[in-house]
């Protein structure tokens, strides 16, 4: 039997008797076999146990933490005592921490790869160690400014930046001659980008530039990058076109952490999408965003 809070937690109507099968009907299908095995194993455990699992209440998913005593310890007659706790908040916090740790690890690896590539780019365009040191310092300083845009800022007041200026700052470290004047060309309409959207868009552009620096047009001296945005009424569409780089082939499989990061940022934070076309001349990436989300 369960108390009123237990029935509410499981999304079941109150009744005088509750069986394990009644509860199993609510357990998430991916967790059901594991939970059955876990409860069976408690018979061989002497002392306390704790099992976390998901349940379904309509379309809502909640986390339950089941706690009790194993090996029938504390049993009274034929009644076993235990508790169910709503662990949804704790699990969401844990998932958020894991996501943040994975994202930070990914960014650090990217920054190391970028620093190495920028050193190689600078060595191609300079003839003396003094010139190389000066240009490399300028590039790394620009990279620092771009990285500041990727880092979420506390207490944001929603100040807007211009889309063209934002892209120029982000792409300047990767251009042998500086954005707008070298092999990177940016042509976008004049529009404001809100602080929250700027952080997300900076992350997306930073990820695309890193991939290009590793594998695409920016990895070779002859490669070019064109970033353009035709005018649309309700949506903002940015086309990222790479040319002159190594041959490209479609990726297979679910993609790495970077691909998941891009998709999550575009869909969840900008109400948009990301599409890739593996053209023989180079990859073409289309970013589509809800204009209302871009100005917030």
Cα torsion 38, 39, 44, 48: sign: positive
Positive or negative, the CA dihedral 227, 231, 237, 243 is negative
What is the Cα 255 distance to its own chain's centre? Answer: 13
pLDDT at 255: 64
Q: Which residues of 202-213 are buried (b: 16+ CB within 10 A; e: fewer)?
A: bbbbbbbbbbbb
- As a whole number of angstroms, the distance between CA 120 and CA 75 comes to 71
Q: What is the dihedral sign for C-alpha 209, 213, 214, 217?
A: positive
The predicted pLDDT at position 43 comes to 65
What is the DSSP-derived secondary structure letter of residue 157? -
Roughly how many angstroms between the first and final C-alpha of the chain, as a whole number?
Answer: 50
Contacts of 80 (CB under 8 A, 6+ apart): 68, 69, 72, 74
HSE-CB at 120 with a 13 A cutoff on CA atoms is: 12
CATH topology assigned to domain 92-294? Heat Shock Protein 90 (3.30.565)
Cα dihedral sign, 141-146-147-153: positive
Q: What is the pLDDT of residue 156?
A: 47
* pLDDT of res. 239: 95
**Domain map (residue ranges) of the chain:** 4-86, 92-294
Q: What pLDDT is attached to residue 181?
A: 53
What pLDDT is attached to residue 114? 66
Decide: helix, strand or coil at residue 241: strand
Positions in the chain whose pLDDT score sits under 50: 78, 150, 152-153, 156-158, 178-180
Q: What's the pLDDT at 242?
A: 94
């Amino acid at each position: 039997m369960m108390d009123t809070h237990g029935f509410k937690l499981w999304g079941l109507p109150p009744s005088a008797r509750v069986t394990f099968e009644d509860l199993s009907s609510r357990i998430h299908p991916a967790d059901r076999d594991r939970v059955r095995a876990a409860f069976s194993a408690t018979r061989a455990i002497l002392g306390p146990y704790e099992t976390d699992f998901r349940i379904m209440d309509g379309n809502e998913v909640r986390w339950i933490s089941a706690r009790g005593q194993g090996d029938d310890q504390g049993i009274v007659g034929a009644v076993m005592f235990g508790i169910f706790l709503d662990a949804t908040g704790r699990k969401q916090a844990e998932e958020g921490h894991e996501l943040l740790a994975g994202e930070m690890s990914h960014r650090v690896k990217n920054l190391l790869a970028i620093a190495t590539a920028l050193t190689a780019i600078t060595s191609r365009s300079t003839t003396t160690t003094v010139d190389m040191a000066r240009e490399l310092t300028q590039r790394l300083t620009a990279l620092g400014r771009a990285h500041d845009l990727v880092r979420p800022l506390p207490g944001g007041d929603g100040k807007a930046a211009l889309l063209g200026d934002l892209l120029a700052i982000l792409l300047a470290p990767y251009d042998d001659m500086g954005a707008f004047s070298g092999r990177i060309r940016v042509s976008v309409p004049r529009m404001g980008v809100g602080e929250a959207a700027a952080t997300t868009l900076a992350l997306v552009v930073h990820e695309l530039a890193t991939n290009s620096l590793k594998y695409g047009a920016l990895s070779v001296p002859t490669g070019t990058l064109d970033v353009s945005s035709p005018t649309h009424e309700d949506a903002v569409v940015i086309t990222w076109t790479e040319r002159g780089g190594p041959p490209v082939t479609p990726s297979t499989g679910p993609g790495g952490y970077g691909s998941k990061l891009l998709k999550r940022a575009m869909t969840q934070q900008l109400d948009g999408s990301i599409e890739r076309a593996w053209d023989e001349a180079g990859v073409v990436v289309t970013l589509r965003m809800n204009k209302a989300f871009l100005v917030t």
